[in-house]
Amino acid sequence: MWIPFVLVTILTLLIVIYRLSGFGGGAGLELLNASFASQQATVDGKTMPASGLLVVHRWRANAMTNRWGDILAIDANWLCRTPTGLFILAIGQGGDDGANYDLSPQKLSPSDIRWVWRNLSEDRVRQMLTPTPRIYRKVFGVPVPKR
């Protein structure tokens, strides 16, 4: 009578250990960091390693995962600053576009993520961050100006 209870308990423990050990979910930021560090960013027509950029803000990434927590598709936007003070919006996208149906989609690796780089003026960044005073203060060190 208690054999099903023992089996369910063992199965639950195995799932919890799997998830807590890092094999399951929670790998989105590590995947993005690994991919970002290996990229070459184009800033004002010049190529530089993305690892030389300072990431000043990361918006929450949208990720599609399978039931085991493996990332199948991801979309991320990071606000970066160059050593010379220019702002760059790094847009990372990877995964299946949904056009092909696959019964067993493959999880992403860092090389599957494509990054696009957009130069932004300081005025544009200030306008973009005005609705979020906490992030504005973090990036610029001053509160949002009163209108």
Q: Is residue 64 part of a domain?
A: yes
Give pLDDT, residue 29: 80
In a domain, 146, yes or no: no
Q: How far apart are CA 15 and CA 21, in angstroms?
A: 10
Contacts 24+ apart (CB under 8 A), 136-140: 138/56, 138/57, 139/56, 139/57, 139/79
Beta-ladder partners of 93: 75, 114
User: Is residue 110 one of the residues assigned to a domain?
Assistant: yes
State the residue range of the domain holding 41. Answer: 3-140
Has residue 147 been placed in a domain?
no
Domain count across the chain: 1
Return per-residue pLDDT of the chain as tens, 147 residues. 778 777 778 888 777 666 554 444 456 788 888 889 999 998 888 899 999 999 999 988 888 877 767 777 888 999 999 998 899 999 999 876 555 566 566 677 777 888 999 999 999 999 999 998 999 999 898 888 887
Q: Does the residue 145 lie in any domain?
A: no
| Residue 115 counted as domain residue | yes
Residue-level pLDDT at 100: 58
